[in-house]
Amino acid sequence: MIKQNETDFANQVNNLEIVDRCSCNDDFCATFYTVPKPKESWGENHYNIELEPEIGTIVLDIKNEEIVSVEILYRDEIRTKLNAIFPKKA
């Protein structure tokens, strides 16, 4: 369910481009970045929106009202697709 003030983020989803993936090597992680990951923290004007999926965990990282990262945990089917696009680095 989309809340009134989150409609703009829902509208961004179709245009997101995956530029990199999380390098944590956890076998339950399918987190990806839609902009280059910063060397430090995301800094000011960053916050999270935790979604309520039926399975797993999904958290949007927002910076300056733009989705910059999508944290996806415990979703094997998404991790499998992400691995096909961005294989984990050894």
Mind listing the pLDDT tens digit for each residue in 44-90? 999 999 999 999 999 999 999 999 999 999 999 999 999 998 887 76
Residue 42 lies in a domain: yes
Element (H, E) at 69: strand 66-73
For residue 75, which amino acid is it? R
Would you say residue 9 has pLDDT above 90?
A: no
Query: What's the pLDDT at 1?
Result: 47
65 or 5, which is more confident? 65
Residue 57 lies in a domain: yes
Taking only the tens place, the pLDDT of each residue in 21-49 is 998 889 999 999 999 999 999 999 999 99
Residue 26 lies in a domain: yes
How many domains would you assign to the chain?
1
Give the structural domain span for 45. Answer: 4-85
Residue 75 lies in a domain: yes
Q: What is the pTM of this model?
A: 0.86
Query: What's the pLDDT at 14?
Result: 87
Residues 78-85: contacts with CB under 8 Å, at least 24 apart: 78/30, 79/27, 79/28, 79/29, 79/30, 82/18, 82/21, 82/30, 82/32, 85/18
